[in-house]
Amino acid sequence: MSKNPSQDDNEVFQSYDFLKKFKRLRLIEPYVGVLGFFFVTVCVIFCFCYLDYRAVEKGYRVPGKSERFKWLKVDGALMVDNTRVEFLSENGSGCDLFDGDWVWDEKYPLYQSKDCRFLDEGFRCTENGRPDLFYTKWRWQPKHCNLPRFDPKLMLEKLRNKRLVFAGDSIGRNQWESLLCMLSSVVPNKDSIYEVNGSPITKHKGFLVFKFKDYNCTVEYYRAPFLVLQSRPPAGSSEKIKTTLKVDQMDWNSWKWKDADVLVFNTGHWWNYEKTIRGGCYFQEGAEVKIEMKVEHAYRRSIETVVKWIHNEVNTSKTQVFFRTFAPVHFRGGDWRTGGSCHVETLPELGTSLVPPETWVQFKMVTDVLSANKRTWKFDVLNVTYMTAQRKDGHSSLYYMGPKASPAPIHRQDCSHWCLPGVPDSWNELLYALFLKRKTTHALNTSTYSSQA
């Protein structure tokens, strides 16, 4: 017997209603999946951001050529390494200070620009509006030894009654002003530090001598971008020759340098076509102007002249001499004339990709000359080129025109000079370590001689 028609209709309507609900569920299902995927993605991104923040907070290490990211303990302290020795110890003598990594250290910087009266406006990046401070937090860590912590009071005591002289270009001035700030940070009475001729700190030709009255010592800067003598051309020279660089004679101020107790040389940034031949500056040896001499050859000859001068004119038993190698520039998309930039750089480079190839040509030229004279040289080399090549983040970029005029136009960036505090402080920490090492070694040798006597 057949079912009641109304009952059959109800069953059909119930089945149809279920199918409609099922279809609606299938239509919603993709949206549920998308929402789920979006939620998971947000969680993953959040985790990465959190870990990245913790990485910077705890200390991020910029690796060497063949290393990858490594994590450090808080305050930049390295993971325990039983093979690392103290540089100032007897076992530290064989350590290469310039083979190392940049490590994050919350104890840095060593001073604040606003607290230092001895800085050009062009180096005061923070006061000129630079928004980030990451570039001030990196410390140089040699791979096989520990540098002594910079102690300005100790260095001033070691410099008591002495002269420390920087001679070179404006990057040398950058380093000189850095050291003035590092040393003055522990002097309560800033008026006891003054320029002996009353000259203000400002970019100009000539020299500046700052005296630390309480220690009767001076920290001096002599502008000599080529280190060798730039002068008028010989009589009868071609009209295109405006000046000459006498690559076989030292700068005329060199007589003021040679009796210093510590002497720091640098040169390099002016040794290019733009700063020499293009402007009518040619090269001279003896009485002859070498019209065909290339910049590279002239640069080599000048370094040979400097090395010879140190050997013949400087009493290196009294004067500790340093030669600092070239500090690379980091222009991206051009150079200083063609709109090159570096203002977006806020972290060190893992490699040296922004460094122009001519940097390494110049670096090899210097090292070849120094290596050829290694048996007879009487100076220390501050080999900062590779470590500085990684610091694309440390330049003045847009923030060099003073607090009122900065930032500079986007096409007029300074990717040669350095913000202070910043990278030149690390050069001075290396200078300090080598300065103390000589004092320590001398004291040890004197003690050994006395005991034998």
Catalytic position from the list 269, 330, 343, 417: 417
Catalytic position from the list 101, 113, 169, 170: 170
Residue pointed to by tokens 């920290």: 219
Catalytic position from the list 169, 380, 393, 414: 414
417 catalytic residue (yes or no): yes
Return the bridge partners of 341, or none: 332
414 catalytic residue (yes or no): yes
DSSP one-letter string for 356-410: -HHHHHHHHHHHHHHHHTTTT--SEEE--HHHHHT-TT-EEET--SHHHHPSPPT
Peptide bond into 109 cis (omega under 30): yes
How many whole angstroms from its chain centre is CA 292? 35
Residue 251, helix vs strand vs coil: coil
Question: From the CB of residue 31, how many other CB atoms can be counted at a distance below 10 Å?
Answer: 9
Do 330 and 342 form a contact (C-beta atoms < 8 A)?
yes
For 388, list phi and psi in degrees, rounded to 5.
-75, -25
The beta strand positions in 100-242, using DSSP E, are: 100-104, 138-142, 145-146, 163-168, 193-195, 207-212, 217-223, 228-231
170 catalytic residue (yes or no): yes
- Residue 418: which residues within 8 A CB-CB, separation 6 or more? 123, 171, 174, 327, 394, 395, 396, 424
List active site positions.
170, 414, 417
